[in-house]
């Protein structure tokens, strides 16, 4: 390649980089494919195309371009890593792990492969394996915001709060404009009066030109600090500011889509005749409910049993069903045709089971993704022997906890607006009443308030429902080393306490919508 071609290629790649950073992924693909025709040995062009497809959720197209690149450039670790990334997005964990390791076999210091293997093991709750890769990434580059953040999250999930705080302070020092670090610190720190970390955050809140994401992070963290200090006025002030600002980051959010989804479920399952056509699902336990309803507590109790493995909040069901049921036509087709094809239903259940078995081949898998309450009907069809436990908590208490916390999930716009949060809780309550009417004893109602006041007897009832013998481990669940990556990361290390029962009543004056939720509760 002569100098003029090199200069031209560099200029075009600079333009493509700008487009990629702006999120113009279709343009990136178009321009990169044109550039690829005369530069088929340039790794970066393949990566721009494939990663753009991933951003557009066209994973099969991404995999195709990466595999093509691998044929031309078989020893390029970034291509191998991105093949692994595509497989991971397709929930093909064995292939994903295989390609990440292939990249590391070629270059043991390939940073993205260590990070992605850390994510993969983290998602499988293999915390020690994840730690190995995050620590290796840290040793390779401890000046990366990304690496420092992932290491903090991993240490926090394992309850290693002292180590996590050290890395947070390192992140603060190296990247003082990173407001996420303050929010991460607030989750694992109990604030006292005149707390220096609170003072530091107060000095940051008035910095000009902070974007909404940064501002919301600081306000949520400050709200937590004043909550710990029992300063209700300032706690309420920062909580309201945090939610108002956070909601502004959800551009084009449409709550009507939530209502449509809930109505669709009831439409197709009203008076549905469930047939126990197979014996599948004996190795699956699903804990469902609103966020902040006690699902993490139930997960810690049940996953402490010797015959279970805690998968934490798995996205297996949501990824599978959201992909399968993209529109109304796909739902119609399932309920009018596919449902009556025993072989097809068997294959669907087998596909999902294979993904759960990646966690552990032999143990019963406990999945505590709260939003699986939407899929209870499909669970009953595909896994009639599965166990579903509904974490049923005073909805006003759950709503209060939701409103004062920030979530990593990108699709929870309803959580940050009082009116939408009220409506969502109502949709959820109505749907759970619907499921109980249609499915009866298929769902065990675990009342949070009973669990925290009658721990031993309620734990025995839950284990009996799950066909598990009683074990003392399930009472002293604080010895459970299963990591927690939810906003319950600090509480999950504590013993059961009942101080949060009816806690929302104390804040009706500051947050009147909570009283409305309480009045509407079934």
Residue 322 lies inside a defined structural domain of this protein: yes
Give the domain-ending residue among 84, 108, 132.
108
Q: How many domains, the chain?
A: 2
Residue 228 lies inside a defined structural domain of this protein: no
Task: Report the CATH number that the domain containing residue 82 is assigned in CATH.
Answer: 1.25.40.10
Report helix, strand or coil for 497. Answer: coil
Give the domain-ending residue among 81, 108, 135.
108
Distance CA 482, CA 480 (A): 6
Residue 204 lies inside a defined structural domain of this protein: no
**Which helix (H) or strand (E) is 286 found in, with range?**
strand 284-288
Task: Report the CATH number that the domain containing residue 453 is assigned in CATH.
Answer: 3.40.50.300
Residue 328 lies inside a defined structural domain of this protein: yes
Give the domain-ending residue among 56, 82, 108.
108
Residue 333 lies inside a defined structural domain of this protein: yes
Q: Please tell me the predicted confidence (pLDDT) of residue 277.
A: 65
Dihedrals φ, ψ of 389, to 5°?
-115, 120
**DSSP character for 486?**
S
Residue 208 lies inside a defined structural domain of this protein: no
Dihedrals φ, ψ of 463, to 5°?
-65, -40
Helix axes of 111-123 and 127-140: crossing angle, nearest 10 degrees? 160
Q: Please tell me the predicted confidence (pLDDT) of residue 492.
A: 45
Residue 52 lies inside a defined structural domain of this protein: yes
CB 373 within 8 A of CB 272: no
Per-residue pLDDT of the chain (522 residues; tens, 9 = 90+): 567 778 888 898 999 999 999 999 999 999 999 999 888 889 999 999 999 999 998 999 999 999 999 999 999 999 999 999 999 988 899 999 999 999 999 999 999 999 999 999 988 888 889 999 999 999 999 999 999 999 999 998 888 899 999 999 999 899 988 888 999 999 999 999 999 999 999 999 988 888 999 999 999 999 999 999 999 999 999 999 999 999 999 988 999 999 999 999 999 998 888 876 678 899 999 999 999 999 999 999 999 999 999 999 998 999 899 888 888 899 899 998 988 888 898 999 999 999 999 999 999 999 999 999 999 999 999 999 999 999 999 999 999 999 999 987 778 999 999 999 999 999 999 999 999 999 999 999 999 999 999 999 999 999 999 999 999 989 887 766 565 555 545 444 456 667 778 889 999 999 999 999 988 766
Question: Domain range for residue 28?
Answer: 1-108
Residue 113 lies inside a defined structural domain of this protein: no
């Amino acid at each position: 390649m002569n100098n003029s071609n090199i200069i031209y290629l560099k200029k075009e790649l600079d333009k493509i980089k700008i487009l990629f950073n702006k999120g113009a992924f279709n343009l990136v693909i178009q321009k990169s494919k044109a550039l690829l025709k005369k530069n088929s040995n340039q790794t970066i062009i393949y990566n721009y195309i494939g990663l753009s497809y991933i951003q557009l959720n066209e994973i099969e197209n991404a995999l195709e371009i990466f595999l093509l690149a691998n044929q031309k450039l078989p020893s390029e670790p970034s291509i191998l890593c991105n093949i692994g990334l595509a497989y991971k997005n397709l929930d093909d964990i064995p292939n994903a792990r295989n390609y990440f390791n292939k990249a590391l076999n070629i270059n043991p210091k390939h940073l993205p492969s260590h990070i992605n293997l850390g994510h993969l093991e983290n998602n499988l709750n293999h915390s020690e394996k994840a730690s190995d890769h995050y620590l290796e990434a840290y040793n390779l580059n401890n000046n990366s915001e990304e690496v420092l953040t992932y290491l903090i999250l991993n240490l926090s999930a394992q309850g290693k709060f002292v180590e996590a705080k050290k890395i947070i302070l390192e992140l603060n020092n190296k990247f003082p404009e990173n407001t996420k670090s303050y929010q991460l610190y607030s989750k694992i720190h109990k604030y006292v009066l005149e707390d220096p970390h609170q003072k530091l955050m107060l000095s940051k809140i008035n910095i000009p030109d902070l974007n909404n994401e940064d501002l919301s992070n600081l306000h949520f963290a400050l709200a937590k600090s004043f909550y710990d200090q029992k300063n209700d006025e300032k706690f309420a002030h920062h909580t309201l500011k945090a939610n108002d600002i956070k909601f502004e980051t959800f551009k084009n959010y449409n709550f009507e889509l939530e209502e449509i989804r809930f109505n669709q479920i009831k439409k197709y399952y009203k008076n549905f005749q469930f047939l126990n056509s197979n014996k599948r699902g004996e190795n699956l336990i699903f804990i469902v409910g609103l966020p902040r309803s006690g699902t993490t507590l139930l997960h810690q109790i049940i996953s402490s049993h010797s015959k279970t493995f805690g998968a934490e909040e798995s996205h297996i069901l949501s990824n599978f069903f959201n992909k399968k049921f993209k529109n109304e036509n796909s739902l119609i087709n399932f309920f009018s045709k596919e449902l009556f094809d025993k072989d097809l239903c068997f294959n669907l259940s087998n596909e999902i089971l294979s993904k759960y078995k990646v966690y552990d081949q032999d143990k019963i898998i406990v999945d505590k993704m709260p939003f699986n309450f939407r899929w209870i009907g499909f669970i009953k069809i595909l896994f009639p022997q599965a166990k579903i436990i509904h974490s049923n908590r005073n909805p006003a208490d759950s709503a209060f906890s939701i409103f004062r916390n920030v979530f990593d999930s990108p699709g929870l716009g309803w959580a940050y607006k009082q009116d939408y949060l009220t409506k969502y809780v109502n949709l959820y309550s109505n749907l759970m009443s619907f499921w109980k009417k249609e499915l009866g004893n298929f769902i065990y109602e675990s009342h949070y308030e009973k669990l925290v006041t009658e721990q031993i007897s309620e734990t025995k009832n839950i284990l009996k429902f799950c066909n598990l013998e009683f074990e003392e481990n399930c009472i002293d669940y604080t010895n459970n080393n299963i990591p927690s990556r939810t906003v319950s990361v600090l509480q999950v290390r504590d013993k059961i306490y009942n101080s949060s029962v009816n806690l929302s009543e104390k804040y009706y004056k500051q947050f009147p919508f909570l009283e409305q939720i309480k009045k509407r509760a079934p």
